[in-house]
Amino acid sequence: MIRSVVLGIGSHLPEKVLTNADLGTIVDTSDEWIVQRTGIRERRVAAEGELTSDLALAAAEKALADAGLDAQAIDLIVLATSTPDNTFPASAVTVQDRLGIRHGAAFDLQAVCSGFVFALSTADALLRTGQFRRALVIGAETFSRILDWTDRTTCVLFGDGAGAVVLEAREEAGGNADRGILTSHLRSDGQHKQKLYVDGGPSSTRTVGHLRMEGREVFKHAVGMITDVIEEAFAATGTGPDDVDWFVPHQANKRIIDASAKKLGIAPEKVVCTVDHHGNTSAASIPLALDEACRDGRVKPGDLVLLEAMGGGFTWGSVLLRW
């Protein structure tokens, strides 16, 4: 049987830092309110002209360097984003072109904040068919472009950034039996569309639109949905919270992260949390957090790593992998 094994990881953040104090000069808010409700202290914002594909490319190049691979080794690129450079072509083909790759396939995947989990699961499935050998799975966003900067209930929550991993299809036999993606569980339910959406798009308004959210409603559903798909991952693999070395959740809000870990029985010291300095970077949040935890030596080869996300749609999902 084929397993998708992570060979490398990388991430990239725009230079410009936007603190809660900075936001206080734009809308009627305060550092105290934002920190208390979300745990966010600062976030990064892309410069004028800095595109989602620029962030994605920088993250991809770092992931390739980490894997010790040339870009020509890649034959599949799945880029999770809700903020592509253009309506089409996919930002993934821009990344493919800028990496100088002329073979294989590249496409964008849109599942909002669950995008990276959906992209990992999709790339894993494609690698296991044998059609592709090595994939770049990227989460990249410039949510700053779709925020209503006069709406304090949403503009304080999000940030820009990108993260990427390199996946390789390997035969399970031959010393790799333990490594790679063990299971993934994806869900969606469109009846919640109005609770978190962008009020524009080529078909409906011919504009890009702005993010709209019923924050309390999202919060109400988040923990239950997250814990459901994690219980499914545990059941599928015969594992449990004590087996998890690192829990790397989507970074939307510290209260959602803490409540999910508590409900699952995952010890707080196993939770990777970067929402304080990244904000919610949607599809980029998990690979950004994972990269930080790899760089600082927390996540090590052989560790059991649990990823989860929930976002607009609603969409939600989990991936359990052996690093």
Q: For residue 218, state whether it binds ligand ACO (rule: CB under 6 A).
A: yes
User: What kind and span of H or E run contains 136?
Assistant: strand 134-142
Contact between 144 and ligand ACO by CB under 6 A: the answer reads no
Closer CB to ligand ACO, 96 or 315, in the complex: 315
So which residues are the catalytic ones? 113, 250, 280
Q: What is the DSSP string of 94-130?
A: HHHHHTT--SSEEEEE--GGGHHHHHHHHHHHHHHHT
Q: Does 219 bind ligand ACO (CB under 6 A)?
A: yes
Q: Is residue 223 a contact residue for ligand ACO (CB under 6 A)?
A: no
Residue 285, SS3 per DSSP: helix
Instruction: Verify binding: residue 248, ligand ACO, rule CB under 6 A.
Output: no
275 near ligand ACO (CB under 6 A) = no
How, if at all, do strands 304-311 and 246-249 pair? Answer: parallel
Q: Provide the mask over 31-50, with x wherever binding to ligand ACO is found by CB under 6 A and - wherever it is not.
A: --xx--xx------------
Beta carbons within 10 angstroms of residue 309's beta carbon: 32
Give yes or no for residue 29 binding ligand ACO (CB under 6 A). Answer: yes
CB of 277 to ligand ACO, least distance (A): 16
Binding-site member from 156, 164, 166, 320 for ligand ACO (CB under 6 A): 156
- Residue of 152, 170, 185, 278 that binds ligand ACO (CB under 6 A): 152
Alpha-carbon gap, residue 116 to 5, rounded angstroms: 16
| Least distance from ligand ACO to the Cβ atom of residue 72, Å | 35
**How big is the site for ligand ACO, counted in residues (CB under 6 A)?**
23
d(CA 164, CA 239): 26
The nearer residue to ligand ACO, 179 or 250, going by C-beta atoms, is: 250
Q: Which is nearer to ligand ACO, 23 or 136 (CB)?
A: 23
Q: What span, in angstroms and rounded, lies between the C-alpha atoms of 65 and 211?
A: 35
Q: Within positions 76 to 135, which residues make up the interface with ligand ACO, using CB under 6 A? A: 113
Strands 76-80 and 134-142: parallel
Vertex 90: Cα angle to 55 and 215 (nearest 5): 70
- Binding mask 164-203 toward ligand ACO (x if CB under 6 A, else -) reads --------------------------------x-------
Three-state SS annotation for 64-101: HHHHCCCHHHCCEEEEECCCCCCCCCCHHHHHHHHCCC
Beta bridge partners of 11: 163
List residues near ligand ACO by CB under 6 A: 29, 33-34, 37-38, 113, 152-153, 156-157, 196, 213, 215-216, 218-219, 222, 250, 252-253, 280, 310-311
